[in-house]
Structure 1
Amino acid sequence: MTRRRMIAISAAAAGMALLPPHGKAAQGAVTWQGEAMGAQASLVIHHPDRAMAQRLTNDVVAEVRRLERIFSLYRDDSDLTHLNRQRFLIAPPRELVDILQQCRDVRMLTGGAFDPTVQPLWDAYRRHFSTPGASEAGPSAQVVRECLRRVGLDWVASSPDRIELSVPGAALTLNGIAQGYVTDRVVDLLKAGGIESSLVDMGESHAIGSAPGDRPWRVGVSDPLDSTRILKVLEVEDRAVATSSPFGFRFDEAGIFSHIIDPRSGATPQRHASVTVVAGQAALADALSTAFNLMDADAITAAVHGNADVEVHILSHEGGWTRIGA
């Protein structure tokens, strides 16, 4: 029940040409293929110094692996898994404390529509629809109410010394923000290594500088029902783009219950076909695109009011687009 997404990073130092991951590599280019954050990954670094390209490649792969061991919900040895299992962590990783603070900021901005403590509800839907003969109406109202008692970041205490889940049965998921956070970290590594032009795509996209020819990068927004069909193209420079859709994963065959669960009600409303957010950081774009799927256009407008850093593109179920902000 994970979303499998292709990760592709193509990075170039100043003056070097960018090539597609499977194209002919320029002199000094280093390539890597494997798996990262639960998806197939490819990485191409173009640099006049091949040794530098290899070092950057190694650094990116090592950093992604390190962050997986902190944030992954699907690894038994991750810090997040340990936290959910024992309800506390002593001397937690700095990145885990940082991402929880970002979660608090987005939760406040969205009126509670984004909350990483929603995991008990996700587990309840999974258990229900994994049971033979389960009701098509979903988990009972009583089950949802019981889960909601464990939901809420107010129940999570976090500091550089300790993170604690104060309610029995509480659990965190960072699936709505972690890929954006990792994307931002990869961008930081590439910039520190002298990369001035790159489009980093780790499920969420982040453009470094401009594309070859001093043009904006072009990021396609796919049809949520057909990933091969591009419905909209956004032009970005030094900006991140994230898209979330209730069609990304649905628990039931009828498609009524999606993976985007409202932490305030426990329901899985499908207000929009997809929501795409453009922002300065991929973590923010990632989290907002998730939360905005649970909010109407007026609430989204209020959330981004006065924030020139955020631009929102909403795809309706009828196929129309609404743009908010920027």
Structure 2
Amino acid sequence: MAAMRMITHSFIAMDTVVNLKVVSNDSAEAVNESIERAIAAFRLVEETCSRFDGNSELRKLSLTISSPQRVSPLLFESLRFARQLAETTGGIFDPTIGQLLERKGFARHYLTGSSPAPLPDSPVSVSFRDFELDEHKRTITLFKPMLLDLGAVAKGVAVDLAKRELEEHCGYLIEAGGDLFAGGLNGHGEPWHVGIRHPLETDRTIRVLRISDMAVCTSGSYERRSPLDGTTHHLLDPHTKSSSDELLSCTVIAPYAMLADGFSTAVFLLGRSRGLEMLNSMGFEGLLISSSCDLSTTAKMKRYVYE
């Protein structure tokens, strides 16, 4: 039997550094082929779902009003999940928030600083109820001018697609900023150890989790601030059109990164009480950190905490 090896690879995609770790007894060539396919999955999601790329399928969709547009399965499923989450949260999570984000100063790619030509600003308010999905024809119709945003979903989708390319191996870790999936076991034959960053002290972890075959995603107010005022963060409530200071971060554990990614943002926006209620109703585990660094968790979160 071949010896177990760990191969690591890092690359930049979706405005963050993505780190891959693969534990396998396959050949280095076979592992590297899997890694290349995982990288391609990230590239595909970025080309399809980026709000910052004028040539992305998402950006082009935002240019066509009142006419059904047939889209790729990837974009359709991403928008379908985003709309379902918007319905579940009463619209506090909303994928039509793109123009509000741009008005607040979040109009440039986080790493490169590039930005596409701005769309004409919509004179009317929009919400997730202003676009329609036809599952039979796989079309999407926008009823009002809007700029769709999948920033709270797309990275999780990319992690899930990359997972498909790596799950043939004994263990793997896909880490993309605040989104990750830990599959199988690490190089020591144990669950992966995953640190949750302290929201106020960047060189510290506030908790360490033991995770296997689960996704962990964190949404926090500390990552991105508006260049216009330096205080508004990118997690905006579409109802108030402002960012909340009740929480500093929200971490969610779920079977898929798309779920953990979307719900970490939704729960952050809902706040501590309603957010915990939603996690419990969905059967997901989570850890919420308040503005005073008080920790709140779901009832069974402690099963994942490494003491």
Q: Cα RMSD between the aligned structures?
A: 2.6
Question: How many angstroms apart in 1 are the aligned matches of 2:263 and 2:124?
Answer: 24
Question: How many angstroms apart in 2 are the aligned matches of 1:220 and 1:290?
Answer: 19
Match of 1:257 in 2: 232
Q: For residue 224 of structure 1, report the CA deviation from its aligned partner.
A: 2.3
- Deviation track 1:66-122 (CA, whole Å, cap 9, x = no partner) reads 221111112221101111233467320101111111112222332322111111211
5 Å-filtered alignment, 1:228-247, equals 228-247=203-222
Match of 1:152 in 2: 127
Asked whether the 8 Å contact 1:183–1:200 carries over to 2, the reply is yes
- Aligned match for 1:186, one of 162, 179, 185: 162
* Worse overlay, 99-108 or 237-246: 99-108
2:31 maps to 1:53 = yes
5 Å-filtered alignment, 1:300-311, equals 300-308=275-283, 310-311=284-285
Question: How many angstroms apart in 1 are the aligned matches of 2:103 and 2:282?
Answer: 36
- Deviation track 1:284-322 (CA, whole Å, cap 9, x = no partner) reads 1111111212223221132123433x1110111222211
Alpha-carbon spacing, 1:73–1:91, altered in 2? closer, same or farther (3 Å): same
Q: For residue 197 of structure 1, report the CA deviation from its aligned partner.
A: 0.8
Question: How many angstroms apart in 2 are the aligned matches of 1:227 and 1:177?
Answer: 24
- Aligned match for 2:83, one of 81, 91, 104: 104
Match of 1:18 in 2: 6
Match of 1:297 in 2: 272
Q: For residue 255 of structure 1, report the CA deviation from its aligned partner.
A: 4.3
- Deviation track 1:13-59 (CA, whole Å, cap 9, x = no partner) reads x962436x3xxxxxxxxxx5432222334545555223322321221
- 1:303 aligns to what SS in structure 2? helix
Where do 5+ consecutive residues of structure 2 fail to align?
Answer: 108-120, 301-307
Where do 5+ consecutive residues of structure 1 fail to align?
Answer: 1-13, 22-31, 129-145
Match of 2:70, as an amino acid?
A
2:147 maps to 1:174 = no
- 1:248 aligns to what SS in structure 2? coil
Q: For residue 233 of structure 1, report the CA deviation from its aligned partner.
A: 0.9
Question: How many angstroms apart in 1 are the aligned matches of 2:228 and 2:69?
Answer: 42
* Identity, % of aligned positions: 25
Match of 1:165 in 2: 142
Q: What is the TM-score with the length of structure 1 in the denominator? A: 0.78
Alpha-carbon spacing, 1:91–1:252, altered in 2? closer, same or farther (3 Å): closer
Deviation beyond 6 Å, 4+ runs, structure 1: none
Alpha-carbon spacing, 1:34–1:264, altered in 2? closer, same or farther (3 Å): same
Asked whether the 8 Å contact 1:82–1:89 carries over to 2, the reply is no
- Deviation track 1:112-134 (CA, whole Å, cap 9, x = no partner) reads 22111111211221289xxxxxx
Alpha-carbon spacing, 1:289–1:302, altered in 2? closer, same or farther (3 Å): same
- Aligned match for 1:121, one of 94, 100, 103: 100
Question: How many angstroms apart in 1 are the aligned matches of 2:201 and 2:149?
Answer: 27
